[in-house]
Amino acid sequence: MFCKSASPRAALRRADRQAFSSTAKLHHVTPLPAGTTIEAAIEKLQNHDLLIHLDPELHSYETLPSDDAAPNTKRYKVTDHMHALPKGLWDSTVTFESQITNTEDGVLWVIKAPLGLVQQTKWTITRNADVGKGKEKAVDEGKSTEAKNEWSLVEEVEIKASRLLVGTVKGKCEENWRGIHSRFVGHLQGVPVKA
């Protein structure tokens, strides 16, 4: 009893897709202000309107109907102005679907964009003692702010797309994360910062 593959061509197409696709992972940590409670931080993080508006390239968004298969996930149609994309890769205005699910300690945000891009970001509020050594922190290492605060915003990003697109999107994420985290901290302090 032998199994045949669907077709040799299908296997080659699958191999081609895998050869040209790539994954990037990012890890960013920002200590939250002293006196911030986990409840206040999670409440702000789970405010989807605020979270979407942290994006410096946001043009507009609208709420989409919920998917019956995932009733706890909220869906949005988001339009961004992407000025730094390579010419011809995408228009300067990109529309994509965002799916945001509140979790016990934050949110899971999945972006499904044109050209097969899928970006999954897990934002959590984590006790500083439980934060692993991240590659990036939004504070100077010389300042001992962690002794004064208890919580951090931890962002774990996974980007899956073509090799060309992954590099571009990863670059945009690296360029923007400090400003996004800073605006989130501003909202926690009651000083909203414009994108």
Domain boundaries, the chain: 17-188
Q: pLDDT tens digit string along 70-95? A: 999 999 999 998 765 555 555 588 99
Asked whether residue 40 carries a pLDDT value surpassing 90, the answer given is yes
d(CA 1, CA 170): 46
pLDDT at 168: 87
pLDDT at 140: 42
Q: pLDDT tens digit string along 90-135? A: 558 899 999 999 999 999 999 999 999 999 999 999 999 888 754 4
Q: pLDDT tens digit string along 7-35? A: 555 544 444 455 589 999 999 999 999 99
Scan for tokens 């999945």, then name that residue: 110
Q: Which two tokens stand for residue 70?
A: 């995932």
Amino acid at site 70: A
Number of residues in the chain: 195
pLDDT at 2: 46
Among 89, 91, 86, which residue's Cα sits nearest to residue 59? 91
- Looking at domain 17-188, its CATH class is alpha beta
Cβ proximity of 41 and 32 under 8 Å: yes
pLDDT at 195: 56
Report the relative pairing of strands 58-64 and 73-81 from DSSP bridges.
antiparallel
Asked whether residue 192 carries a pLDDT value surpassing 90, the answer given is no
CA 138 to chain centre: 16
pTM of the prediction?
A: 0.79
d(CA 148, CA 160): 37
Mean pLDDT of 136-153: 62
Report the relative pairing of strands 151-162 and 136-137 from DSSP bridges.
unpaired
Q: What b/e string do you get for 78-99 counting C-beta neighbours within 10 Å, with b at 16 or more?
A: bebebeebeeeebeeebebebb
- What stretch of H or E contains 176? helix 163-188
Asked whether residue 147 carries a pLDDT value surpassing 80, the answer given is no
pLDDT at 143: 52
Asked whether residue 63 carries a pLDDT value surpassing 80, the answer given is yes
